[in-house]
Amino acid sequence: MTDRDLDMDLGLLGGDPAGVPRSRGAHRHRKPGRRERSRMNERGREGGHGRDAVNPHVPDPTGRRGRSIAALLVVVVMLGGLGGGIWYGGSRVLAALGDTPDYPGAGSGAVTVQILAGDTASDVARALATAGVVKSAKAFVSAAENDPRSMTLQPGTYRLRKQMRASAALDLLFDPASRLRSRVTLPEGLSVAQSLDRIFRSTGIPLVDLQAAARDTTQLGLPIYAPAVAGRQPGLEGFLYPATYDLEPGMSAVTMLRTMVTKFKTVTAAIGLEERAKAAGLKPYDALIIASMVQREGRAREDNPKIARVIYNRLAKDMPLYIDATVLYGLGRASGPLTQADLDKVTPYNTRQIKGLPPTPIASPGATTIEATLAPAQGNWLYYVIVDKQGRHLFTADYDAFVAQKAKSRRAGLL
């Protein structure tokens, strides 16, 4: 089976113009390799060119296209994939082209195959055949076009077996256990340092690479309202959105962190962070700083709108915020008791000593905390203190009531 026959069988939508023969002697144009096309696709996404710019209506200069289409009924099935489409096509008259070479069994051994976002049908089929997974690209196309699950095939890296029956290879591509990826979960309220450590432990990406990527935020796509800090480029704190991420093998530290920042922008756009903060007289970045403090201070989620209100009330009265979580952050810690020496140490984050907001967020807040910050509860509270093991707080505007409850909570071992 020639390259030309295969490409016409597979349709090659999204790749070369459909139906244009590509035999090695007929044209001077070289078909880019998979890696080269991956780079072309990246440039295409940046500048509007690449695979998507191919005109599928370019006429066949040989004049054979009409005869080919007249001879074959080509069926094209689009398989939607993450980050782009993987296209499959096949002919209802494959049998007319001869027997389809195929292996008889489930295969053996192990081989890794990568399916790129935007791969054409021939890319996928040839990749499997080249890796020794299937006996022929034609066999895989035949199996795919007869399987309705093919519409959900995802780009990614898969562990398959050698010498597999084409239908068995397709089955394995849909088995979640075959997908090679690292799963990272970032809980709400982690700092950048804590997040990088968790990513390192989950993926094995060197911590130094993650730290370098976190410092060079110009590559991470931060929101335009992220300010430069102390004359340096904007900091990453607060922008690594807390969620569970499935990360592909070989993903770079920069790509990984950029994925998390993109998630932040998607979630906060849906919430309307920028618009609602401005409507409330806040800078979006200041709203994020407040949300990060609420996230670290709150233990019971239902208390978060009240904690946000306390912060707003203290700011309005030009009071120090007295947020212990910021004091800890300034000391390079996430938890633990604070000694008098800790409280006396001057840092930009010691909100017992310095009025106003700290210079940056202290953690990454989740969507519900950001929402609580943008829609705080109504009340005149200025103080809060934990009252039970479930993490609920007493809120009051009376300092004496606050002091009395604080002593009671300390006796109960809650502080």
- pLDDT at position 65 over 60: no
Q: Is residue 109 part of a domain?
A: no
Looking at the structure of the chain, the number of domains it has is: 3
DSSP string, 71-85: H--EEEEEEEETTEE
Phi, psi values for residue 63, rounded to 5°: 80, 5
- Strand ranges, E, within 139-277: 156-162, 182-185, 228-229, 232-234, 244-247
Nearest to 122 by CA among 23, 7, 36: 7
CATH of residue 236? 3.30.1490
- 215, 244, 270: which is the final residue of a domain? 270
Residue 34: which pLDDT band, with cuts at 50, 70 and 90?
low
- d(C-alpha 187, C-alpha 328), whole Å: 19
* Shared domain check, 151 and 137: yes
Q: What is the helix (H) or strand (E) element at residue 49, kind and residue range?
A: none
| 19 and 124, same domain (yes or no) | yes
Is 161 contained in some domain? no
* The pLDDT of residue 53 is above 50: no
Contact by Cβ (8 Å): 85, 118: yes
Q: Which residue has the higher pLDDT, 392 or 38?
A: 392
Let me know if residue 58 belongs to a domain: yes
Same domain, 8 and 89: yes
Judge if 323 and 264 occupy the same domain: no
- Do 313 and 399 lie in a common domain? yes
Report the candidate in 187, 231, 195 with the shortest Cα–Cα distance to residue 213. Answer: 195
One domain, residues 290 and 365: yes
- 8 lies in the same domain as 146: yes
Q: How confident is the model at residue 1 (pLDDT cuts 50, 70, 90)?
A: very low
What pLDDT is recorded for position 339?
94
CB 244 within 8 A of CB 183: yes
Rounded alpha-carbon distances, angstroms, from residue 142 to 107, 139, 150, 212, 344: 18, 5, 11, 47, 73
Are 229 and 238 spatial neighbours (Cβ–Cβ below 8 Å)? no
> Rounded CA gap, 66 and 31, in Å?
23
CB of 132 within 8 A of CB of 169?
Answer: no
One-letter amino acid at 42 equals E
Binned at pLDDT 50, 70 and 90, residue 127 comes out as: very high
Q: What is the mean pLDDT of residues 209-213?
A: 96
Do 403 and 293 sit in the same domain of this protein?
Answer: yes
Token pair 């967020």 is found at: 361
222 or 232, higher pLDDT: 222
Same domain, 95 and 70: yes
In a domain, 174, yes or no: no
Question: What six digits make up the tokens of 369?
Answer: 């905390």
**Which of 211, 246, 270 delimits the end of a domain?**
270
Helix or strand or coil: residue 43? helix
Residue showing tokens 């479930």: 390
Rounded CA-CA distance 350/183 in Å is 35
DSSP 205-252: --HHHHHHHHH-GGGTT--TTPPEETTEEEP-TT-S--SEEEE-TT--
Q: Which of 61-65, 265-269, 284-288 has the lowest mean pLDDT?
A: 61-65
Mean pLDDT of 260-269: 98
Average pLDDT of 76-94?
A: 39
| Shared domain check, 142 and 7 | yes
Establish if 310 belongs to a structural domain.
Answer: yes
Residues 97 and 203 in one domain: no
85 lies in some domain = yes
- Of residues 122 and 146, the one with the higher pLDDT is 146
- Domain assignment present for residue 67? The answer is yes
Let me know whether 368 and 329 are in one domain: yes
* pLDDT per residue as tens digits for the range 337-386: 999 999 999 999 999 999 999 999 999 999 999 999 999 999 999 999 99
Residues composing the chain: 415
Region at 261 (left for phi over 0; alpha for psi -120 to 50; beta for the rest): alpha
Greater confidence (197 vs 152) lies with: 197
**Among 235, 250, 270, which residue terminates a domain?**
270
> What range does the domain containing 286 cover?
273-411
* pLDDT at residue number 47: 41
Q: Is residue 265 part of a domain?
A: yes
pLDDT of 32: 52
Residue 231 has a CB neighbour count (10 Å cut-off) of 5
